[in-house]
Amino acid sequence: MDFVNSFEEALSKGYIKAYFQPLTRAITGKVCGAEALARWDDPELGLIPPGDFIGQLEKHRLIHKLDLAMLENVCRFYQQNDCKDMTFSINLSRVDFVKTDMFQEINKILSKYDVPVKTIHLEITESTMLTNQEYTRKLFDQFKDAGFSVWMDDFGSGYSSMNVLKDYKFDMLKIDRSLLTKFDLRSKKIISSIVNMAKALGIHTLSEGVETEEQLSYLRNIGCEVIQGYYFAKPMCEDDFLAYLETHKVETESDFDFWNDAGKVNFLSGDPLMASNDLANSDEMLGTAPLALIEYFNGLITYPYLNTAYIKEISKLGYYSTEQIEHDINDEHYVYRDLFMRQIENTIHRGSIQKTDNIMNEVVYSFSTKLVASNGDRHLIATTVRVIDSERSDYMVLKYSQSLYATYDLVTKITPDKDSAVQIYSNAGFSKIYGTASLSRGITEFAATEVHPDDRDRYLAFFDLATLNERVIHFIQQSFRVRNGDDYTMKNIRISKLENGNYLYTIQSY
């Protein structure tokens, strides 16, 4: 078939159509978008594979008309079916930018159908970025400044992908299907390295060509956010796609923003609570840190994600499934519920990493949490848990001194002569561990951050290191208003003299 000479007629008669392949959020299983793919449905030959005609249209500089026609198909579909929560990605060829002003033409079509810019994602291959780089850079910046999400398509299929990533800030990186063809250990390591790198750069990840449960499970576990492939659905005509949406859950606009924020968590980092921009300057590589995501909504806790390392740690506490944890935590009579919920609420209100040491079933563990996404009363919290090894010097103190657990919010050993502090136990949920780098600086920071403004001067006088030795015979104590979430609570603070110039600093709730 002469595709070049038949193209204009096929386009005008509607033989060339947009088929839609769903994009699925790995964690939730909800549809979070679709890719629009060109299909030529000839009345005599039937459905013609895109590989038969795309190359010919590019060679004869006609591909821009096809790509713009796909965008118009998407916009018409969006308008006719009220797809306000759906987003669509379209492919742009490097040849598109040779024959026409794609920025102007794309915006013209969006205006014609009154489609928001955020609805359309632009997929661009590395070859596009390497053609006339000065002009491409200008276009890239135009699209980004206008609010378009720009995706790098077929990552891993070419030779210059790393250079392109260095020079352009993409919103999404699409892992090429070829990396899944031979799904062995080597391929898995390559894919996990790509995801880890993308997270460090603050780029979302999508894997195309997913066909098996094994592939899906692996990609989900390493934090690849979006899945595309035959495992969920093949590309579909408009009617079939609408039917698919009727039988599958679709993300709302608020869902989309919520889970995109969650995508900033690097599941593969040795410190997964570290922010993405911190990871760029970190030596951390692929890690096996215990990691889970906690969703808190309407007073209920659910766990949409736990990795293997997290499950291994909580099994030491007597838990072997998310159902067990959710059942207990959501039971208002559960003995550890108040402690758990206090940390969750502190995490939401303060935003910074919260860490406590706790005891459960005679096992000492450390529980750290960080807020990663919020939408009204709905919050997503990343958490790590680590059982404290019995070889640690403070293990016996933590395990057998139940009075510490029951009585004190914080226990810290301080050594003024060395300007140092060592936290022994914490259940306070403070935004950081104060005084480890410098005791004197920690005192000032704690007063400014955690103590009520009206009590700060009194607190600083109470903790005056220059006069501490002469003031403390056995112990000194006073009550101060200390931060508790968004409010302040009266706490009893005591400094007790130990031996060899050491003191014990404790905070106790009334």
165 pLDDT band (50/70/90 cuts)?
Answer: confident
Strands of 102-171 (E only): list them.
120-124, 149-155
Which CATH number describes the domain made up of 286-387? 3.30.450.20
Among all chains, which residue has been given the structure tokens 């990533």? 165
What Å distances lie between residue 140 and 168, 170, 458, CA to CA? 8, 9, 57
Min mean pLDDT across 17-21, 360-364, 430-434 is at 360-364
Domain parsing of the chain, residue ranges = 3-251, 286-387, 401-509
pLDDT confidence of residue 281: 43
d(CA 244, CA 59): 35
Task: Flag whether pLDDT at 396 surpasses 70.
Answer: no
pLDDT in tens, 231-245: 999 999 999 999 999
Which CATH number describes the domain made up of 401-509? 3.30.450.20
Topology of 3-251 in CATH? TIM Barrel (3.20.20)
pLDDT in tens, 67-110: 999 999 999 999 999 888 899 999 998 888 777 888 999 999 99
Task: Give pTM, 2 decimals.
Answer: 0.75
Task: Flag whether pLDDT at 419 surpasses 80.
Answer: yes
What Å distances lie between residue 394 and 85, 313, 400, CA to CA? 52, 19, 10
Task: Flag whether pLDDT at 480 surpasses 60.
Answer: yes
433 pLDDT band (50/70/90 cuts)?
Answer: confident
Task: Flag whether pLDDT at 294 surpasses 90.
Answer: yes
* CA-CA-CA-CA dihedral for 253, 254, 260, 264, to nearest 10: 170
Task: Flag whether pLDDT at 402 surpasses 60.
Answer: no
37 pLDDT band (50/70/90 cuts)?
Answer: very high
Among all chains, which residue has been given the structure tokens 């698919």? 244
What is the pLDDT averaged over residues 134-147?
88
406 pLDDT band (50/70/90 cuts)?
Answer: low
Q: Is 223 strand, coil or helix?
A: coil
Task: Flag whether pLDDT at 183 surpasses 60.
Answer: yes
29 pLDDT band (50/70/90 cuts)?
Answer: very high
d(CA 238, CA 236): 6
What is the pLDDT averaged over residues 139-144?
90
Same CATH topology for 286-387 and 401-509: the answer is yes
pLDDT confidence of residue 98: 76
